[in-house]
Structure 1
């Protein structure tokens, strides 16, 4: 199989591991910078060039598209799809996952639980918006943030209003959520490939921090997720139409809640914590046909 990995940096751990795993399994692997791909679009005729040469014969693409290049990166991926190339994470699924507001609406519509979330635009409605949410603390998130950036904890209603006003002044898109105190700064990342959770890790925020992201100094240990956590992670991945995802869950008094579904989850933390060959599992899934589970309307859970 001729495999392409869309990534802006060949030295990143996740990119290197995917290349290694592909070659270990006898495939040809090439890293493509999505910003160096360019396209010809005509009725029934789609072509791609890379650094001055035609790009043909690619059997499958594994997208590792960073948040800063989402728009162009997903356009490149869509072109590959139109050229008949297989991918575990289609372009539209990545766009659904990247927009936190859209993802939360889709997940909630399918009965998947998450922290209570509110969203509004007009400054005159801020007071009532926060009343809809409930008592502080509140968590304020930019809708396209990643790795814990753009996630703020407001401990008092006045702080929530001030942060909301500041973000609106910057024309930023954001959501506001309830703070799950009983989680005590921890979450669980379930790594989903196809229809299985192949690994999981529990991440703990450092002292004085509520974000458990490893990029923020959090620590991680491998864990065995519960049956409920596996079910929620797989359903969330399916609803968004992804074949590979990192689903972040928080353990609450009312069961597992989905914080985020990451369409380009990093491999270093999960491989280190779980001691599992995640890259190899992804490549095997892709080589097996990687027909992702399409976005579906499943049964609602009361």
Structure 2
């Protein structure tokens, strides 16, 4: 098959890993930078140009769309869907997973356990803050990755100051309960085609509460409990994601889904677990591309 990785970083670990896995299975792999695509619709037909040349020979695409390019990236994936190119992650799933509130709404509808989360409203702010009592509050921008746009407010006063600043800047955000018993750790589970293929526990660096490896956290390979695996699979199914990373917090009331990443980084999970996630992604394409 002809498979393209939609990425601006040809030298990035995830991109190189996917190329290696695809070529090992005798697929023609290439990296296409989303910046150089031109999308159009006319006379009932969708077309895609890359460097002014029509793209019409691909069988599948693997989106590696950055958070800063979500809208165009999702539009590009949708354009490929219109010309019957198989996407590892659909345009709808990218948009729904990238918007934290939309993601939580979908998870809630599917009865997937999540931390208590409130869409912030300045008109109802006092009541919303009261609902958390005297406990710390997590304030999250609706879109953000690698722990960016996530703030821990230790007190109501700190929360108010942060919220006022974000509101003045015209930002939208959610308020979320702080799960103290997780002690700065979370679980990243990689789900591919309805199967958890790898999992690791991440721990934050000293002085931080975010466990992202990009922020200096550490990780170790783990085996999920039955309930953790069940929650990860239900979350992926709810968002209709054939490939994703599901972040889970271990709480006193059981596993809680913290976030879903539709284009999870591969370096940390492959290095930590020794699992070839890229090979599993190529296998997913082979099983589902008709």
Tell me which interval the TM-score lies in, with the shorter structure as reference length.
over 0.9
Q: Which residue of 2 aligns with 1:228?
A: 227
1:178 aligns with 2:177: yes
Secondary structure at the aligned position of 2:191 is classed as strand
Deviation at 1:42, TM superposition (A): 1.9
Rounded Cα–Cα distance in structure 1 between residues aligned with 2:43 and 2:195: 38
Deviation at 1:135, TM superposition (A): 2.9
Deviation at 1:45, TM superposition (A): 1.0
> Does the 8 Å contact 2:120/2:175 carry over to 1?
no
- Superposition pairs of residues 32-51 of structure 1, within 5 angstroms: 32-51=32-51
Secondary structure at the aligned position of 2:56 is classed as coil
Q: Which residue of 1 aligns with 2:278?
A: 279
**TM-score of the two chains, using structure 2 as the length reference:** 0.98
Give the number of aligned pairs: 290
Deviations 1:144-165 (A, max 9, x none): 0100011110000110111111
Rounded Cα–Cα distance in structure 1 between residues aligned with 2:132 and 2:155: 13
Deviation at 1:126, TM superposition (A): 1.4
> Does the 8 Å contact 2:63/2:77 carry over to 1?
yes
Q: Which residue of 2 aligns with 1:95?
A: 95
- Superposition pairs of residues 1-302 of structure 1, within 5 angstroms: 1-122=1-122, 124-289=123-288
> Does the 8 Å contact 2:59/2:289 carry over to 1?
no
Rounded Cα–Cα distance in structure 2 between residues aligned with 1:33 and 1:215: 23
In terms of mean alpha carbon deviation, does 201-210 or 132-141 score higher?
A: 132-141
In terms of mean alpha carbon deviation, does 194-203 or 43-52 score higher?
A: 43-52
Rounded Cα–Cα distance in structure 1 between residues aligned with 2:164 and 2:27: 52
Deviation at 1:232, TM superposition (A): 0.7
Deviation at 1:250, TM superposition (A): 0.3
> Does the 8 Å contact 2:38/2:52 carry over to 1?
no
Deviations 1:215-256 (A, max 9, x none): 110001110011111111111111111110000000000000
Rounded Cα–Cα distance in structure 2 between residues aligned with 1:258 and 1:215: 20
> Does the 8 Å contact 2:77/2:90 carry over to 1?
yes
Deviation at 1:108, TM superposition (A): 0.9
Secondary structure at the aligned position of 2:22 is classed as helix
Deviations 1:22-73 (A, max 9, x none): 0011000111111211122124311111012111110001100000000111
Deviation at 1:134, TM superposition (A): 3.3
Rounded Cα–Cα distance in structure 2 between residues aligned with 1:138 and 1:33: 39
In terms of mean alpha carbon deviation, does 25-34 or 124-133 score higher?
A: 124-133
Rounded Cα–Cα distance in structure 2 between residues aligned with 1:84 and 1:179: 43
In terms of mean alpha carbon deviation, does 133-142 or 190-199 score higher?
A: 133-142
> Does the 8 Å contact 1:228/1:256 carry over to 2?
yes
Deviations 1:152-184 (A, max 9, x none): 100001101111111000011111101001000
Secondary structure at the aligned position of 2:131 is classed as helix
Deviations 1:88-133 (A, max 9, x none): 21001110000000000110111111110111332x4211111123
**Closer, same or farther: CA 173–12 of 1 in aligned 2, 3 Å:** same
In the alignment, structure 1 segments of 5+ residues that lack a partner are 292-302
Rounded Cα–Cα distance in structure 2 between residues aligned with 1:21 and 1:131: 51
Deviation at 1:290, TM superposition (A): 5.3
Secondary structure at the aligned position of 1:133 is classed as coil
Secondary structure at the aligned position of 2:108 is classed as helix
